[in-house]
Chain A
Amino acid sequence: MPAFQLSERQKGSILVFVLVFAIVVGAAAFALVAESNAGLKLRQMENKNYRTLVDCLNGLDIARNAVETSNYDSDGHNLALWNIDSSADGAPGASPLVDNSRVTVTISYLGSFWYELTSIASSNDGEISKEVKERVRERDFFSRYALFIENGDVRVGDTTSYYGPVHVNKNVIFNDSVSGVGAQVYGFMSSTVPFTFNSNAESETQFYQGYADDLGKDGWIDLPDSKAVEDYKNDTGAYGGSGTVLWTTGSGGNLVELRKGPGGFSVNGNVYTYITMSFDKATKTQYIQFTIRNTSGAVIFTSTLTSDYQMPDPAILHVEKAIMGLKGEIRGAATVVSETDDINISADLYYVDDEGDHPMIFDPLNPSNTNYLPNPNYEGNAVLGLIAYQDILYTGAEDDKNLEINGAIMAMTGQVKWGGSGDKDHLRVFGARISDGQTYRSSGSSGGYNDSGVYVYDDNLRVSPPPKYLPVEKPLFLGFQVVR
């Protein structure tokens, strides 16, 4: 008898078994191939997606470069933008700024110097499309710099710290008076000529965000063609139909007036003006107090904290001659202007929120350069601009060894410098400094803030400059958005 014999009923079962086995193996093989293909397609789709986004971003970069390197016309328009679309009609200009086989960038004027760049790229097979937008203002403001010097070198002491961008249209000179200690530069620093490092300053100075000492000049205010300081007088609205005279004396060439308008205050006449700003936490009201002296130094007017002296927000405070003293606290937005002369910062000048908190905390007992730090409790949005036709002077209070300034301070034809007497300790600036000439915080035998100076850029100035602040011929990019 054979060892293995199939009955009639079992005949064909091996064939069925082989068939089932073949189907199972075949299905498994098919599933593996399908999975592999699906994985491959997913990878290909991801790569295609990414490549298309990169094309889109590259197109935007090309457009940014064209806008950044463009010339400006006499009205202050960026020609790369203005020539393509000068009508705020909600539609892009007739021709794109960038147009090649991979990406198209169109421009649409939004109004008030703002444009929208729209970059659209598609994959080669048209399956994927990406869209990225970015907005640009034709002209940024001078408050974009932590420090800008038009016509003078900057001397950097080895106990100095810079936070935020610094540009000098001349040279940056690093001094080395303390062995083993160097300046700390936390923002990008640039100049038009190679930096000068004295003694060991080169090895002791720390640059945390890079530097370039061979850049071209950045634009400065062309006084005859751009908004000059005298325009601020009209910006107050004090001399139009809505303006009122709060106080006046003299007549003819000796006329002195203190006026108020919907946009701010104006002091006109040959007097010395002292300004104190104060914020009443209880009523949430911002006041301004004026003390006016004649040229002999005698007080001829002092205002009181009444409703007449509530500051609008935003406010322009225009003074024709010198502001001999400026101090206090501000909750809103204001720009203080001396049309023809200096501004003396006579004591601390700082931002507050509704609770009276300051944006920065200064610990004078901490010897390190990082002793001026953001206050996490601050919840305000104050911004202050100072524009002096001549100098901005750190005079400080007699009974205070330290001085704190919050704001973007600008000396259009002069310097931002020490202007007091005696030896002081620490200077802290939270904001921006812009000047025509050299800037310094002490001057040897004349005293000054000898111990340290820390300058922290207020990043808010990038988006919210002080009211009517002066613009620079550089675009401001903002509003980056991947739409799809």
Chain B
Amino acid sequence: MREKSRGMTIIEVMISLTIVTMMIGLVTGALANYLRMTAAVRNTVEIVGQHEKILRMIRSEMEQSSANRFQKQWWIEGGETTLRFKKLSGFVVDAGGNPSMSWSSDIAYGLDAEGFVTRTQNGVTEKIAGNVTELRFTEIDNGRVRINLTNERGNLERNTRTVLSTAAEVTPRN
């Protein structure tokens, strides 16, 4: 009877603890990995959504501008960091059949010191989206502008940082 009711040996306890520790380690590692991946995917999805929003805004306004030589209505300033333009606000045809277009006040897109893409018109500045590390405008060919946008999200030390760049081209339609 005494033989059957004896407790575990120290070896058995150590083996059990080791197995349990390893299992906890594996599960914890897998969980951490899963969380990192989830964070990276979430970051990517959020950045892509943000890029779409920023580019959509700039494009829909910029397309209403003009690149015509005599009435060019957009300019790149500040070492390619600011895009300033006017968009169409009125269109009439004169008696001679010639079109005459009128233009809005200046609209400027740029990046502020806190990493926000901003839109400024008539002295009012709106913050469009944050966490942007680069917003660059480049003039290409005849009357087109290329927009380069880079975002960073997450924590470098926790290995959850995501960096994503997008480029788009806009052609003013007027």
Q: Please report A residues at the B interface, Cβ cutoff 8 Å.
A: 46, 50, 53, 110-114, 116, 133, 135, 137, 163-164, 186-187, 208-209, 359, 374, 381, 457-460, 462-464, 477-482
Contact = CB atoms under 8 A, between A and B. Distances in A.
Contacts of B64: 480-482
A50 B143 CA distance: 26
Contacts of A164: 142
Given A186-B142, A480-B173, A481-B64, A464 B91 contact: no
Interface string B52-66: 010010001101100
A459 B68 CA distance: 6
A112 B56 contact: no
Contacts of B7: none
Nearest to A379: B70
A459 B99 contact: no
B9 interface: no
19 contacts: A50-B56, A110-B93, A112-B95, A112-B96, A114-B97, A135-B91, A163-B142, A164-B142, A374-B69, A459-B143, A460-B68, A460-B69, A462-B68, A463-B99, A478-B174, A481-B64, A481-B88, A481-B89, A482-B64
A137 B168 CA distance: 30
A477 B172 CA distance: 12
B93 A112 contact: yes
Contacts of B91: 116, 133, 135, 478-479, 481
Contacts of B60: 53, 482
Given A114-B93, A163-B142, A480-B63, A458 B69 contact: yes
Interface of B: 53, 56, 60-61, 63-64, 67-71, 87-89, 91, 93, 95-99, 101, 141-143, 173-174
A478 B173 CA distance: 7
Contacts of A482: 60-61, 64
Contacts of A478: 91, 99, 101, 174
B62 to A, nearest CB: 11
Contacts of A111: 93, 97
B141 A209 contact: yes
Contacts of A208: 141
A381 B53 CA distance: 38
Contacts of B98: 464
Contacts of A459: 67-69, 142-143
A113 B96 CA distance: 11
A201 B63 CA distance: 36
The 3 closest A-B pairs by CB, nearest first: A112-B97, A479-B91, A480-B173
A41 to B, nearest CB: 16
Contacts of A137: 99
B14 to A, nearest CB: 40
Given A46-B53, A112-B93, A480-B63, A135 B99 contact: yes
Given A135-B99, A208-B141, A464-B98, A479 B68 contact: no
A479 B69 contact: no
B52 to A, nearest CB: 9
Contact of B68 (A113, A133, A187, A463): A463
A268 B173 CA distance: 43
Contact of B174 (A163, A186, A479): A479
Contacts of A460: 68-70
Contacts of B93: 110-112, 114
Nearest to A463: B68
A27 B98 CA distance: 64
A374 B70 CA distance: 12
Nearest to B63: A480
Contacts of B56: 50
Contacts of A479: 88, 91, 99, 101, 174
Contacts of A209: 141
Given A464-B98, A481-B89, 19 more contacts: A50-B56, A53-B60, A110-B93, A111-B93, A114-B93, A133-B91, A163-B142, A187-B142, A209-B141, A359-B69, A374-B69, A459-B143, A460-B69, A478-B99, A479-B91, A480-B64, A480-B88, A481-B87, A481-B91
A479 B102 CA distance: 10
**Which of A135, A359, A381, A480 gathers most chain B CB within 10 Å?**
A480
Contacts of A464: 70, 98
B4 to A, nearest CB: 43
B61 to A, nearest CB: 8
Contacts of A457: 142
B144 to A, nearest CB: 9
A463 B71 contact: yes
Contacts of A480: 63-64, 88, 173-174
A479 B173 CA distance: 8
B70 A381 contact: yes
B141 A186 contact: yes
B7 to A, nearest CB: 35
Contacts of B88: 479-481
Contacts of A187: 142
A376 B92 CA distance: 29
A460 B53 CA distance: 33
A478 B57 CA distance: 21
A113 B97 contact: yes
A359 B70 CA distance: 10
A482 B174 CA distance: 12
A459 B97 CA distance: 19
Greatest chain B CB density within 10 A among A164, A208, A459 is at: A459
A26 B151 CA distance: 36
Nearest to A57: B60
A67 B62 CA distance: 24
A138 to B, nearest CB: 11
Nearest to B90: A481
A374 B139 CA distance: 14
